[in-house]
Amino acid sequence: MGVDQPILSEKPVSDRTISLSNTHVPFLIIVCGATATGKSGLAISLAQRLNSAIVSADSRQVYREFSIGTAKPTVAEQKQVPHYLIDLCNPTETLTLAEYQEQARRLIEPIDKTPPQASLLVGGTGLYIKSIVQGLKIPRVAPQPALRSQLQSLGQAQMYGFLQQVDPKAADRIHAHDQVRTLRALEVFYVTGRPMSEQQGEAPPTYPILQIGLDCADVEGGDRRIQQRTAQMIEIGFEAEVRMLCEKYGEDLPLLDTLGYREMKQYLRGDVSLAEAQRSIVLHTRQFAKRQRTWFRADPRIEWFDADRPDLLDQVWQQIRNFVDNEIADTNLKINEQRF
């Protein structure tokens, strides 16, 4: 559910398709960037040209019933292009990073694609994307509520002290006040009997990956998009969605303490006016977008495009064509070298 979605320009049919029949290598194209930069709209247009589905990389869209506040693709958008890895879990369940990675790989990496085709991974959850691009090795340990509760009762200082004893390498990478990561490292150790640092690492995929990043060239453009997105959410029924979720699951549901839902809960409780809640959502979304931007900008492999440029789709499409042509040429060259 994006704003200012790119318009599909009128080009000859031959310019709108890519043939991968000359290679047996699958391709992964990623569309990433901060919230409200038009990733979904661009991805739908690209998927139509590539005859591909969209694999979501959004850590909240995996949960059913959390739709408007997460900008989940609408029913109409999902009819245009198949979308995967949305609505996987009930709001009371937890999808771990390892579980997400496993399911995403099944969709992205099948070796029996005939002919091979590009997969589209789209979203703003940097860790989800990193788990695929860098092939993160993630301990397969499900959350342990009882264990976490016991550890939390000790306090962060003591928990971190335990971590320094059982997994000093992990402790060196985790800030002493970072309770979430401290808990996770201890959880992995106590469940598996091995330090988490020994179970981590990377095994990057061998198939070619092109990362497309969307950002606004100026701050005002990004702010305008966030304001539009927030106003649109409220207009199409965000208040009713949050009210329903609170009544069904209770206000203490952790997902209801995330961006947008937290502020709308304050309005429903009567703590703030709707206008105040809307301003808070805009402010906090700006702050969140800034953190996303910092995360993605740290990766030099991402090819950046101005989300507001009128020819965005054509420019991104040309980048994809160049990428595919180069990869096919490299693959065929290696095949020929092996023959002689």
C-beta of residue 19 within 8 angstroms of C-beta of residue 91:
no
What residue ranges define each of the domains in the chain, with the CATH number in brackets? 13-136+203-219+297-339 (3.40.50.300), 145-199 (1.10.20.140)
pLDDT, tens only, 79-91: 999 999 999 999 9
The CA distance from 159 to 174, in Å, is 12
Three-state DSSP at 120 gives strand
| pLDDT score for 18 | 54
What is the mean pLDDT for each group of 10 consecutive residues in the chain (340 residues)?
37 46 68 96 95 95 97 94 96 92 88 63 97 93 89 94 95 92 93 91 90 93 95 97 98 96 97 98 97 96 96 96 79 50
| pLDDT score for 118 | 76
- Rounded to the nearest 5 degrees, what angle is found at the Cα of 260, between the Cα atoms of 270 and 4? 130
| pLDDT score for 10 | 36
Cα–chain center distance at 73: 13
Amino acid letter, residue 52: S
CB atoms within 10 A of CB 228: 15
| pLDDT score for 113 | 53
pTM attached to this predicted model? 0.83
Residues in the chain: 340
The string of DSSP codes covering 177-197 is T-HHHHHHHHHHHHHHSS-HH
Nearest to 296 by CA among 128, 150, 106: 128
Cβ-based neighbours of 117, under 8 Å, separated by 6 or more: 20, 26, 27, 50, 51, 52
Quickly list H helices, the chain: 39-50, 75-80, 97-108, 126-133, 145-152, 156-166, 168-173, 179-192, 196-199, 219-235, 238-249, 261-268, 274-297, 312-339
| pLDDT score for 109 | 78
| pLDDT score for 58 | 97
The CA distance from 2 to 41, in Å, is 6
Average pLDDT score over the chain: 88
Structure tokens at 284: 């906090």
CB atoms within 10 A of CB 74: 14
C-beta of residue 27 within 8 angstroms of C-beta of residue 324:
yes
| pLDDT score for 74 | 94
| pLDDT score for 325 | 83
C-beta of residue 120 within 8 angstroms of C-beta of residue 81:
no
